[in-house]
């Protein structure tokens, strides 16, 4: 995750929040939140090398396979649950989205937006897209599924999630105009609604 995206996501997190970062990678965002926003919390990561990097950064990390769910966490035990660039790697995306909403007061997700216009051009030419955000060939991608900005809006509604903020991200810039077409990454902030 680049610095511009870290700062933009961090701006969605209230200062002093208790944060759970699912699929936290090397812990860069959580470290930023701990140091600059006085947040506390945990990262969840499965990869051994990433768990070690988190520990080196001073980030509390739990090694856990997200496919097994979040049963170790109580309802609403965190102010914010982050799930950045992980949904596309999960077999049961909808169940993990519901778990995110159960465990946190607020959820923030991001994922590659398959509807970004260069991806559409690749598909029109009969090829799967290979881009900076999705740098893999169709046969070696870690992504189990692809989704779009518009698809997430529908999924959120189906699961009674209220979207509090949403935008796209492209080349270090926030995209609020036509994000389904113009952004390579979709970002949503949501809660369980009323």
What would the pLDDT profile of 142-193 be if each residue is shown by its tens digit? 878 889 999 999 999 999 999 999 999 999 999 999 999 999 999 999 999 7
Q: How many residues does the chain have?
A: 194
* Residue 145, C-beta contacts closer than 8 angstroms, at least 6 positions apart: 88, 93
Tell me the pTM.
0.93
CA distance 156 to 174: 21
For 37-48, what is each residue's pLDDT tens digit?
999 999 999 999
Q: What is the DSSP letter of 142?
A: S
- Across the range 32-37, mean pLDDT stands at 96
Question: 31 by DSSP, 3-state: which?
Answer: helix
- Predicted pLDDT of residue 194: 65
Query: Does the pLDDT at position 139 exceed 90?
Result: no
């Amino acid at each position: 995750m680049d610095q511009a995206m870290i700062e933009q996501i961090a701006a969605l997190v209230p200062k002093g929040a208790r944060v759970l970062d699912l699929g936290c990678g090397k812990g860069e965002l959580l470290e930023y939140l701990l140091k600059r926003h006085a947040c506390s919390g945990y990262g969840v990561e499965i990869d051994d090398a990433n768990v070690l990097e988190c520990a080196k950064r001073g980030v509390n990390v739990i090694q856990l396979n997200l496919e097994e769910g979040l049963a170790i966490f109580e309802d609403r035990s965190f102010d914010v649950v982050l799930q950045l660039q992980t949904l596309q790697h999960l077999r049961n995306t909808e169940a993990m989205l519901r778990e995110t909403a159960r465990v946190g007061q607020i959820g923030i997700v991001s994922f590659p937006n398959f509807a970004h216009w260069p991806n559409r051009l690749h598909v029109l030419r009969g090829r799967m897209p290979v881009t900076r955000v999705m740098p893999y060939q169709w046969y070696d991608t870690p992504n189990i599924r692809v989704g779009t900005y518009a698809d997430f809006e529908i999924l959120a509604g189906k699961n009674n999630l209220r979207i509090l903020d949403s935008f796209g991200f492209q080349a270090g810039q926030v995209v609020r105009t036509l994000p389904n077409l113009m952004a390579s990454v979709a970002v949503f902030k949501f809660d369980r609604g009323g």
